[in-house]
Every structure is written in C-alpha cells, then in structure tokens.
Structure 1
C-alpha cells in the first residue's frame, strides 16, 4: 500500500497571520508553526480547533507571534510532543511567549508560568542544515537559513519519497545582523509565503540614508519622531542602522542645533529591550558584517544616546516629559501594528499635532490601527495639501477616535519580509521546478498577483491558493 503526503492549513490561508500547517503521512503528522491571528484574521477564541492526537511534533520556523502565539493553546489542548526550532529561536521563544501570556486574560499568572515550563521541557533546539528523523515515522526534516529574523528558518521535510518545503517567512538580502537566505535546491511541493507577493520594497542598500534624510526632514517641524516597531527583528534593525548613522554622520545636524551624536533615541518597549539583550548574547549567529563591527570595538545594538524605558511608571513619566518638552527625540515603541503596547499611548498624545512625525517600517495587516493610520494620514493628503477633506482623518484607539494631523511616512525598505522578486527568486532556485506551489500567508490581492507571476514563469507547475475548505 502506497503512502502519500497530505498538507492541511490551519491558518494563514485567508490572511497574513495565524500560520499553522500540517504535513501528514499515513497516521502521523508534524505541525509547522502554530501562530496567533491578528488584524482581519483576529479571533477571540484561540482554542485549538483541529485534531492533534496524531501530531507527533511541532516544528517552529521562527518566533514571531503570528507563527508561535497559539503554542500555549496547543499545550493546553494536550500536545505532549517535542517542539523543534533552531538554536537561536530556542533562546528567543520563551521571552516571546512570556510576553504574550502577560496580556492573556484566559490564564492566570500561575497558569502562564506552568505553560512556559511545559513548553521549555518540550523544546528541542536543532542546528541549521542538520536532518532530524522523527522517531516512529517516515518523516525527517531540517532547518535552512531564511534571513527573516535571528534564528528564522524554512523547513525542508522528506516523507513518503517526496520533499516539501515550508518557507515560513523569507527575508530580503542585506538585512542587518542576519545570515542571508540559503537558496533551496529541490522539492516536490513548496508552501510559500506571499506577504509582499504584489510588490517589491525600496532598495535596502541605501535605506539607512533614507532614514537619516527622513528624520532630519521631520525634525524641521520641531516635533517628535515616533517609530512603531515590532519588538523582535525590526527594533534591532533600527538600532543597528541608527548606530551606523551616528558613527558615520555624528557631527551632522539631525535637528536644528542638535547633531546626531547628541540626539536622544528612546526605546520604550520592555520586550524590545529584552529581545535586544538576547540578540547581543546571540552574536555568534550574526552575519560577517556585524561580526566585523564588533572586532572594530563598535556596539551595533547599543550606544551612548540610547535610553531604554523599563517600568510602566517610567513610561508615563517619559511620555509626559516628551509632550511638554521641545527637545527632539526618536521614540521606538511597540507594537509594530499599533494594536497594543506602549506605542498606543504615544499615538494618543502625538497624532493630533502636525509638528510630529510617525514613521512606519513594517507590514501593517488589514484592519489594524497601523493600517488605518498609514491609509488615512496625514490629515491633509500628500498629493494636494491644500485640498482639505470633508471629514478629518482619524483612527480608533482603545475605543476612542483620535484625529490624525501628524505627518505619516512609510519606509518599506525596512520590512523583514522579502519582496515579490525575492519570493519569485526563491521559487526559481528550485531545480527541477516543484510540481506544486501553494501560496499562503498573504492577503488575497498579493496572492493573486504572485500566483499569476509564478504561473507565467513556471508553466509546468501547479500554483494554487488554498481555499477555505483546505484550511483543515
């Protein structure tokens, strides 16, 4: 009797979040990621809604919450199998889940601690590029560098004589700190993310100079610069690039009468600060460029002008001081999509003032406050600033409307995701081409554009978008 592989998707089918995919061979399965739903995908009920008795292992591509946020619910549902991830991810995962559980009203603080302890008992770190056989099954897998965040991987699986690649989230070239994506060689089925399947980013090579120019332009108004940023990945990218700007252009004026080497940069994100500390402890996994900076005596993730805000009390004091003061500062605060965290308090205070600037450096999922702000602001449109809309632009934060008068900017070159060209090149690197490519983790428009592009370039490949009934 011939055994066939079966792929099911329990998330990231209708949108960008909730990544959770199952590879089944006979009576055994492995789960690739178990992520949280955000934006339009948001669900109140996060209980596991699929059978898990036959799932022998969870394999984690990386530790962003839309890939790992439902792990506590998987454990509560009775999952006792190993949780495999890369060695850096094993260091980062407990911090990410501990933070997520702080805001979970379903479980008490004590229950949260028990869940974390259980997760750590089941955690199995693996090196990159090392095949791991799953005992009692016909399944083996290995991690390859994905270049998305520290520790991120795509997963190559072999079972029933076939190879399946789950891309996880793929990064773009020239990312600070990160070893670049390992080109794939061959597979029969590719499960490919499509976050930016419909567009490419601005050049990453000169993005540091664009950031410098934008900040200097913003400070001409005499306000503050706020950067909403994900605690893991984007925050460290920004600190790395700001240190580079300070090192190279320290005497240049960032703001009137304030040189870059005197400009205060505030990191107001407890998780962001904790992850940054973990990144520093994991410097053996940094790329060669970052390693060379260390040898030169530079510290890419810390510098004299950096102020880290820890307690909630200090956060409130800092916010009040910044609002009352006319001193320029860059504030990096979580969360990246403005759906929670300390950045919300900054937005409430800063959005109404046209002297302030908000710089978005990451993907904003549909129906998140971040997406609304990017689409609606600033109040006077950039195309014709004299054309006042009938109604002012606003965003809802914590159930209240806040007027958007601050200048809103988007720097796509800072996305941790690869753009359309990077996704296509990943697929084209496979030789011979796979028989099937399944597009997940993207909004419908992005998936449709990427599907058409891939189908034209790979006419022998069946490029499919899993439908609702395939969601498992």
Structure 2
C-alpha cells in the first residue's frame, strides 16, 4: 500500500467516534482523535480499540469533546503509552473530561482514578497554537504537526501535518479539521483557514444547512425565557458540559445585563411563588458537577477568550459567574431541585448534562417535567439519531412519547430548537474554510456527518471548485468500501 494514506476508525457513518490514522510509512503513524461512539453509532463492545496500535507514534487531540476523546481510556487500556498532543487549554480540560469518562466506564475507586490521571498527565504534551512540533524524524521520514484555533470550543484546533520523505524529496500537507466552529461564536475567536492543504479531512455535521445569525438566536432565546416566566415553568436545556454550557451562560448573562438596565431588579420574593418573578431574579441553574468544574477552568483561561469577551470581563461584568447563577453538585441537592421545580410555579432556567439526553441529570428533569405543558425543553445542539434527544425533538411537537430509563414518558412540554447556537460551522462556514486557503486541497475526505449532509456538502464543494476551474476529488468514506467508491464517482460527475 502506498504511503502516506489515511484510515478512518470512526465518524464515517455518523457524527460520533472521530478517529483517523495517518499512516506515514510501514513503521510510523499518527492518530488524530480517539472519540466515543454515541447514539445509533454505538458499537458492540463499547469503546474497545479494534485496530492495531503498532507503529502509532502519537495521538493528536483536536478538542476534548467525548466524541473526539472518549475512547482514550480504552486506548490507554490497550497499551498506548505515546504522547497525547493537544493545545494548552485542552491540556487543562482533558484530565477533567477523561476522569469523568473513566469513572463512568472503568472504576470510581479514588486510588485507581488518581493513578489513571497521573498516567494521562504524564502523556500529555501541550503545544502553543501556531507552532510546529516534530513527531517523527528519521533518515526516511520527517513529520511535524501544528495546531491552529478552530473556534469550536476553548482549546479546539485543526491539525496541520507535514510529512516529508528526504530520500525521494517528496512531501504532503494533511489538514484534519476536527470540529470547525461557527463564525458567530462570542466567547472564543472565530476560526481562520489554514494557508494550504494537499489533503483535507473535513467535518460535515451541518453540511446541508445554514445557521440563524447570532442576533436572531438571542432574540429567540429571550422569547423562550419570557414565555417560561409567563407560564411559571422551567426551561430545560440539555447541554454538553464543555463548550455549549459556557457559550450559553455567556449569552444569558448578556440578556440579563440588558434586562436589568430596562427592568431594575427588586428584592427576592423568597418562597412565595404567587408573586411575579422578573428577569433579574430568574435563577440560572447549572446542574452538572463536570460542567461546573469545566466552567471554572474556562474562567481561569480568560487569556484565550475572544477580544470582545475579555473586554466584557475587564469592564467588571462576570460572563461566567453572574449573580443569578447557581451550581448544583451533590445528587441529593439535584433531586431536591428536580422535585421543587416540578411541584412549584417558580420559573427557572436549568442547564444539565448530557446534551443528547441519553444519560446524566437531564434525564431526571425530563422524567419529572416532560408531561407538563408549562415547561419547555430547549435544544441548542445537534441530536444524533438513536438518542432520546432526537426522539423528543422529532416526536415532541406531535404529542408523542420518549423512552427514558426504560419508561415511556409522554411529551406535553413545549419543544423548541434553536439552530443558531450550534458550535459547528454551517455549510457556508465549511465552504469558507476551504476557499479561504491560498492553495486549495486536491482531495477532501468528508467525515463526521450524516450521509445526506455530507452529500450536500460534496455537491457544493464541487460547484465551488468549478468556479475556479480547479480539479478536486471529494471522498465520502464509509464502512462499506463500495459505497465509498460510488460517492467518489458521484462527486466527480458533478
């Protein structure tokens, strides 16, 4: 088999399990991400590593969402002892995420967890953005990587990998996009394109649609909370602990700040729920110990925030630590909060993990509140096929039901989806990521997306290249090799 070439070990039939292997020669390769399969993408055997680790020199992490790093505990259990290369913010966040994953799957024993985390920290190598790092150097092969900000979550990066063969004086540049952020994110800087790529591995999560703009999404969020205040209901927001939660807090703080200038707050009404409650008093509850810990790290990494976010903080505002913010740690306090909000008319905003409603504390809220029309479930993130979140989103508006913890729960609560809060680039953003390069890739692999989204993006990419009279091979890898060939030919014909 000729070198270099790419093997895809996940995120080819859906949007989870990102893991790509760059085989540089017969003895050396790199892994880019090692994510968990979720929802309908889940495999038998859980997250066990089913490919050989022989010759894997390093793991390069684009960002620390579970669908990109959730299989790392299995990777270490399979014997991987090489470096885990990531950005400086990701190096702070990764141990927290992996600790949570380890406890869920392997052990909650404190000593076992600590030994595991010590091993993780020994293997992590944090590299600054925009600096080359050598990963392999021999007489036959020189390879280096560079991380550039991807604008998805704090610390997220796309990976540039230069592979050079001195004996033949040939070289190629691979770019692995990871997850490209939306251009309208406020807390972190928007993504920029790499200067060039020969081969691009590009995500296609929203390759078939466009997002609402930021002003519209904030107006819709404000309207949803206004309705909750009127209905004396709770807004349940299933959110990933990392990235989406912090972005949402940043947006809510902005609304609360503006509202407090228009409607001055009054003294708390205590527990008398017969009294009206206005915006300055509405509690914003983070019910996720992991989300609370990650938010603390976000605050510590303020130097990596966007310029606008840093200016807001320097003016005295606390975008991630405002007065109405309540964090809940213990399970007992969590259940007390669920019971209180479900049995009273006190409006509240609850942000709880996990983002696709498949497990975590959001499930208890849903079981208690889905059957009541005064409550509202607000989706701000992608719901993968096969997850309860997908079922609620699809069947909720029809008055259907969803299975949670083996129970069929009727859906009477309002169901709202705000697409503008996606942390992924939409079709326009993905096309701009390519067109912003000085030298466009000759080959593009579309991964991390449903087949319809990737096919739509493939068509738009071929149209884009046609405007410049440039050739391109757009490949849609799949677990069915024949389907991959058909996809390649389909795109060439366009």
Tell me if the contact between 1:218 and 1:357 (Cα under 8 Å) persists in the aligned partners: yes
Rounded to whole Å, the distance in 2 between the matches of 1:79 and 1:195 is: 29
Name the count of aligned residue pairs: 458
Deviation at 1:113, TM superposition (A): 3.2
Match of 2:443 in 1: 436
Tell me if the contact between 1:433 and 1:461 (Cα under 8 Å) persists in the aligned partners: no
**Superposition TM-score, scaled by structure 1 size:** 0.94
Q: Say which is worse superposed, 51-60 or 37-46, in terms of deviation.
A: 37-46
Q: Say which is worse superposed, 7-16 or 128-137, in terms of deviation.
A: 128-137
Match of 1:386 in 2: none
Rounded to whole Å, the distance in 1 between the matches of 2:282 and 2:128 is: 40
Deviation at 1:273, TM superposition (A): 0.5
2:474 paired with 1:463: yes
SS at the partner of 1:427?
A: helix
Tell me if the contact between 1:29 and 1:56 (Cα under 8 Å) persists in the aligned partners: yes
Tell me if the contact between 1:5 and 1:25 (Cα under 8 Å) persists in the aligned partners: yes
Match of 2:422 in 1: 415
Tell me if the contact between 1:174 and 1:205 (Cα under 8 Å) persists in the aligned partners: no
CA offsets, 1:172-212, max 9 Å, x none? 11212101112221111000000001111111243222211
Rounded to whole Å, the distance in 2 between the matches of 1:468 and 1:378 is: 34
* Residue 323 to residue 107, structure 1, CA distance change in 2 (3 Å): closer
Matches within 5 A, 1:375-454: 375-380=394-399, 393-454=400-461
Match of 1:50 in 2: 51
Gaps spanning 5+ residues in structure 1: where?
381-392
Gaps spanning 5+ residues in structure 2: where?
165-170, 266-272, 485-494
Tell me if the contact between 2:184 and 2:213 (Cα under 8 Å) persists in the aligned partners: no
Rounded to whole Å, the distance in 1 between the matches of 2:195 and 2:211 is: 25
Deviation at 1:170, TM superposition (A): 0.3
Deviation at 1:143, TM superposition (A): 0.3
Q: 1:237 aligns with which of 240, 247, 271?
A: 247
CA offsets, 1:60-99, max 9 Å, x none? 0000000000111111111111110000000000000111
SS at the partner of 2:308?
A: helix
Matches within 5 A, 1:334-413: 334-380=353-399, 393-413=400-420
2:326 paired with 1:307: yes
Rounded to whole Å, the distance in 2 between the matches of 1:428 and 1:205 is: 26
SS at the partner of 2:351?
A: strand
Rounded to whole Å, the distance in 2 between the matches of 1:275 and 1:163 is: 34
Match of 2:178 in 1: 168
Deviation at 1:100, TM superposition (A): 1.2
Match of 1:133 in 2: 134
Tell me if the contact between 1:253 and 1:260 (Cα under 8 Å) persists in the aligned partners: no
Match of 1:100 in 2: 101
Rounded to whole Å, the distance in 1 between the matches of 2:284 and 2:306 is: 25
